Amino acid sequence: MSFRILVVDDDSATLRVLARLLTGEGHSPVTCATPLDALTELGRSHYDVLLSDLVMPEMSGVDLVRAAKERQPVLRCFIMSGHMPVDGQDDGVVWVDKPIDIDELLVKLG
């Protein structure tokens, strides 16, 4: 199954690599370098998946997920982090360890 995926990370190298890998697996990724750009994009187009970094300057990935779910309630949300999730911050989010293991990410995407 192919997904339309919004990838958000303030690291341009991470965005390029993930876009290339996800495209190679048949998905349709769109990248944003800031959470505010991502929220604008979510207002314009429908996405199946949000894949966001946890730590970014404008807002955290957790805050982005909350705002994104207001715009698109059925959006599946994944947060990439090198840190374990904080207790009580589940909200249906799938956590993905950084550095990203693309095979693990693909399994989690389903």
Q: Is the pLDDT of residue 30 over 70?
A: yes
Interatomic CA distance for residues 73 and 69, integer angstroms: 4
Residues 6 or more apart from 85 whose CB is under 8 A from it? 79, 93, 95
Q: Is the pLDDT of residue 107 over 80?
A: yes
What's residue 92's pLDDT?
A: 81
Domain annotation for the chain: domains and CATH numbers: 4-109 (3.40.50.2300)
pLDDT tens digit sequence for 38-90: 999 999 999 999 999 999 998 999 999 999 999 999 999 999 998 766 554 55
Average pLDDT over residues 23-42: 97
- Which pTM value belongs to this model? 0.93
Q: Are 49 and 76 in contact (CB under 8 A)?
A: yes
**Could you report how far apart the first and last alpha carbons of the chain are, in Å?**
8
